[in-house]
């Protein structure tokens, strides 16, 4: 089968021919219908050689959807032909967090060497993908795989981040979304659907700000040295009750810290390496700083339900698997509108 693999540290990913995976007991083989392209893939491909080497060659793709193609011994939860989405943050399934569906915070994953597909285990950018357990599949139930595959990360991650701040986002409040790309443009829609907040979006190009407005941002402003003053002005000097940073580089983390209101939340989702040293007086009184990772199994079901009800839509650009290397170049250049999805 064809697969997109990151094979040599520092080189571009390549489309290669590899064997279709063998299905073991309890496992499920899906025929991939869609695979989303996330900025985190670039993070993996920028990791130092000695750190990434043990994972190579790595079939990329941690946003996956497919059709159940083969069932391993003992699997009864699904039938051949079922359309499914893959829950990506795989855990051990037996610790307390996994028992609560929060496999993204599995206590044993690191020690047991459990890695998410596309981020250590073979991922979805291939004709077939092996899923380790039925627990990690959610039925699509009528949702189009291409339009919705990215909800498994670009929907689930902002949903998890935003859900924890909802008690602070009642009527008359303000939420700021920094970075209106794959995650951010879904985040804006989740905020509009679930909170009473006025949404202010920040990005670096007029095209991205236009997308932000289209998906529901009340205000969309450039992420520059004037951004904090603009947020203060729009909030009558109070600042934002929650800031979601979907970039996470030093300049955006600085904006987030300076723009948050007293008792507000700063949520750093982007893994751009920005740091926020917090001490008394360095940030608004009683502000909280969080660094969430992905989301829980039940939250994925909730996100898919929002899509079914028409509350969120992913802006998708589709590409063939062989175009993937160019897609990553475009993503790096900030040239993808919404999410790029590969059709293996
Ligand atoms: P993306 O490339 O689709 O979107 C990033 C957006 O940020 C683009 O619109 C870009 O124009 C904008 N941007 C760049 N510099 C900016 C700046 N200085 N100010 C404001 N906007 C700026 O990326 P994505 O796939 O949405 O991922 C966003 C980030 O979230 C990445 O760092 C990714 O690795 C990370 N991520 C984290 C998790 C998690 O669980 N914490 C999960 C998925 C992705
Ligand atoms: Zn991702």
Complex-level ipTM: 0.99
Tell whether ligand 1 has an atom less than 6 A from the beta carbon of residue 256: no
| CA separation, residue 147 to residues 56, 75, 159, 203, 334 (Å) | 30, 28, 17, 23, 20
Instruction: Please tell me the distance between residue 310's alpha carbon and the centre of ligand 2 in angstroms.
Output: 23
Tell whether ligand 1 has an atom less than 6 A from the beta carbon of residue 252: yes
Look at residue 207 in the predicted model and tell me its pLDDT.
96
| CA within 13 Å, CB half, 255 | 28
Look at residue 180 in the predicted model and tell me its pLDDT.
98
What are the structure tokens assigned to 304, written together? 């898919």
Tell me yes or no: is domain 156-290 CATH 3.40.50.720: yes
Look at residue 257 in the predicted model and tell me its pLDDT.
98
Instruction: Please tell me the distance between residue 120's alpha carbon and the centre of ligand 1 in angstroms.
Output: 21
**Rounded CA separation 30/133 (Å):** 12
Specify which residues 245 forms β-bridges with: 178, 268
Give the chain's count of helices (H) and strands (E): 12, 16
Polymer length of the chain = 344
Kind and range of the H or E element at 85?
strand 83-86
Name the DSSP class of 131.
E
Specify which residues 322 forms β-bridges with: none
Look at residue 317 in the predicted model and tell me its pLDDT.
97
Look at residue 111 in the predicted model and tell me its pLDDT.
97
Tell me yes or no: is domain 2-153+295-343 CATH 3.90.180.10: yes
Helical axes 227-234 vs 250-259, angle rounded to 10°: 30
Block residue for tokens 């450039």 = 222
Look at residue 125 in the predicted model and tell me its pLDDT.
98
Instruction: Please tell me the distance between residue 191's alpha carbon and the centre of ligand 1 in angstroms.
Output: 17
Note if the bond before 57 is cis, omega within 30 degrees: yes
The residue extents of the domains of the chain are 2-153+295-343, 156-290
| CA separation, residue 115 to residues 20, 70, 79, 88, 90 (Å) | 20, 22, 26, 9, 7
Nearest-ligand number for the alpha carbon of 116 = 2
Nearest-ligand number for the alpha carbon of 123 = 2
- For the whole prediction, is pTM greater than 0.95? yes
Pick the residue whose CA is nearest to atom 13 on ligand 1: 179
Nearest-ligand number for the alpha carbon of 152 = 2
Query: Which residue ranges in the chain fall short of pLDDT 70?
Result: none
Look at residue 209 in the predicted model and tell me its pLDDT.
98
What are the structure tokens assigned to 69, written together? 């193609």
Look at residue 123 in the predicted model and tell me its pLDDT.
98
């Amino acid at each position: 089968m064809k697969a997109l693999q990151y094979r040599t540290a520092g080189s571009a990913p390549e489309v290669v021919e590899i064997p279709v995976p063998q299905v073991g007991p309890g496992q499920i083989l899906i025929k991939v219908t869609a695979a989303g392209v996330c900025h985190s893939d670039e993070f993996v491909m920028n990791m130092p050689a000695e750190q990434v080497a043990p994972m190579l060659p790595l079939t990329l793709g941690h946003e996956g959807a497919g059709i159940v193609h083969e069932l391993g011994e003992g699997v009864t939860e699904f039938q051949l032909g079922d359309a499914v989405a893959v829950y990506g943050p795989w855990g051990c399934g037996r610790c307390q967090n996994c028992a609560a569906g929060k496999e993204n915070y599995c206590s044993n994953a690191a020690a047991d060497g459990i890695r998410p597909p596309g981020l250590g285990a073979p991922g979805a950018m291939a004709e077939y993908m092996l899923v380790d357990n039925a627990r990690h599949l959610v039925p699509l139930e009528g949702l189009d795989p291409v339009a919705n595959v990215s909800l498994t990360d670009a929907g689930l991650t902002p949903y998890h981040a935003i859900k924890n701040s909802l008690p602070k986002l009642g009527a008359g409040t303000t939420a700021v979304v920094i970075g209106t790309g794959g995650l951010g443009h879904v985040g804006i829609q989740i905020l509009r659907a679930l909170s009473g907040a006025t949404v202010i979006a920040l990005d670096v190009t007029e095209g991205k700000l236009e997308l932000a407005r289209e998906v529901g941002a009340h205000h969309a402003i450039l992420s520059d040295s004037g951004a904090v003053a603009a947020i203060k002005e729009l909030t009558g000097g109070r600042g934002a009750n929650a800031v979601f940073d979907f970039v996470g580089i030093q300049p955006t983390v600085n904006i987030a810290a300076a723009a948050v209101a007293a008792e507000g939340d700063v949520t750093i989702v982007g893994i751009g390496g920005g740091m926020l040293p917090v001490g008394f007086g360095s940030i608004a009184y009683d502000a909280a700083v969080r660094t969430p990772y992905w989301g829980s199994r039940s939250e994925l079901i909730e996100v898919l339900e929002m899509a079914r009800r028409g509350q969120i839509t992913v802006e998708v650009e589709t590409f063939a698997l062989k175009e993937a290397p160019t897609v990553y170049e475009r993503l790096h250049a900030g040239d993808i509108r919404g999410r790029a999805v590969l059709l293996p």
